[in-house]
Structure 1
Amino acid sequence: MKPGFVRLICLAALFLFTAGSTWAQGFHQLTIDDFKGEPRNDQYTVAYTNCSIGFHYQAHREKNYYMLDFNIVLTMNNYKSWMDKKRITTNELLEEVLRHEQGHYTIAYMEQQELLRAVGKTVFYADYQRVAQAIFDRIDAKYKQLNLDYDADTQHMQNKAQQISWNAYFKKRLTYMPPD
């Protein structure tokens, strides 16, 4: 049986005020071992990828502005991500599912990278809390919509032509991603 809907909910972690420094992990290629959660009993969903982005910073005053040290971490939540391996009956189907789920992870990675670039270019003043939150909210909304568009366009990987198009888009975005 072909898998039905494959989707991702990319949860944004709470906005916390904790010490940290700017740090980003590298891109991760998903494997079947990344899906450790229990499959849901859902006839339309064969896999689910759950990522979160932790957005933390420490602020310190410098003359008339604030320096913010950011720690923006993308986490693949393995135990919330799952794959119904009983319904994936061929290696070809497994590759298709992983490729689609990789798209969701790639969207989360692109969000993390854009957040890092945006805060790195921002001068913060006394309203740094509001400004930092506004940056996060704006970029997070953009990538939530991109996730929705991805699943709608690919029909949760069922539209093979659209899936190929999105795969090419992701490859190009990763190849030409600006440095941190």
Structure 2
Amino acid sequence: MKTLFIILSLLIVMPLLSFRQDFKEPEQLDWAIHFKGKPDNNSPFYALTAMTWKYSYASTVYRNRVEIKLQNEISIDRNRSWVKLDKVRTEEGRQNLLHHEQGHVNIQYILYLEADRVLKNRNYSVKTYKTQISQLANEISNYFDTMQKNYDEETEHGSNHKMQAEWDRIISDKMEESIAASNSK
């Protein structure tokens, strides 16, 4: 019986210890897990989901051609993400807010897919590949930063339910498109 308890405990605890995301789909937000940061009381907003995108690569030049091995990763910074749940009066309101924040994560996931596709599938110049990769990465980052800002502005941070539904469709379509493109390589 004691052995069974230990095995069951490990089965429950081990997934919680692993912070490595497999990136097969966007991470699903949970107030208790992802929002550990101290809320900004000066902010008019009820939640902030802090995320990062990191990339690195190793390059090989062979016969005047550059090949890169890309490492591409996204993550949610749990210690910088925060929520003011005490300001949201209803459970429906909390769920709507979480849904809006999930939209930010889904956009970040599309960034991951697009960065992987774009950065890996280019012919780079031997002389300027480092600059080319850096410029492409900056363009991708800027594009998705703008998308995140537009998402917040147009949905009024999730409070405009009609625009939230429209953005849900946009994000879903873009995610399907990006998944299909990454699967076709």
Partner of 1:57: 57
Letter in 2 for 1:122: R
Is 1:92 aligned to 2:96, yes or no?
no
Gaps of at least 5 residues in structure 1 are 1-22
Q: Is 2:137 the counterpart of 1:139?
A: no
Offset at residue 121 of structure 1 (A): 1.3
Shift in alpha-carbon separation, 1:42–1:82, aligned structure 2, 3 A: same
Task: Give the counterpart letter for 2:28 in structure 1.
Answer: Q
Equivalent residue letter for 2:119: V
Question: Are the counterparts in 2 of residues 24 and 73 from structure 1 also a CA contact under 8 Å?
Answer: no
Between the aligned residues of both structures, percent identity stands at: 22
SS in 1 for 2:56: strand
Post-superposition offset of 1:61: 1.4
Counterpart AA for 1:124: Y
Higher helix share: 2
1:24-173 paired onto structure 2 within 5 Å = 25-26=23-24, 27-32=26-31, 33-42=33-42, 44-126=44-126, 127-173=128-174
CA deviation profile, 1:40-74 (whole Å, cap 9, x unmatched): 11351110011110011111211101111100100
1:59 and 1:66 in contact (8 A); partners too: yes
SS at match of 1:133: helix
Pairwise CA distance, 1:102: 0.9
Richer in strand (by share)? 1
Q: Secondary structure at the match of 2:50?
A: strand
TM-score calculated relative to the size of structure 2: 0.80
The whole-number CA distance in structure 1 between the counterparts of 2:50 and 2:85 is: 17
Aligned residues, how many? 158
The question of whether the paired residues in 1 share the 8 Å contact of 2:68 and 2:120 is answered with no
Could you tell me whether the CA contact under 8 Å between 2:107 and 2:144 is conserved in 1?
A: yes
Could you say which residue in structure 1 is the equivalent of 2:16? none
Distance 1:98 1:50 in 2: 14
Segments ≥4 residues shifted beyond 4 Å:
none
Higher relative contact order (Cα pairs below 8 Å, separated by 6+ residues): 1
| d(CA) in 2 for partners of 1:83, 1:131 | 38
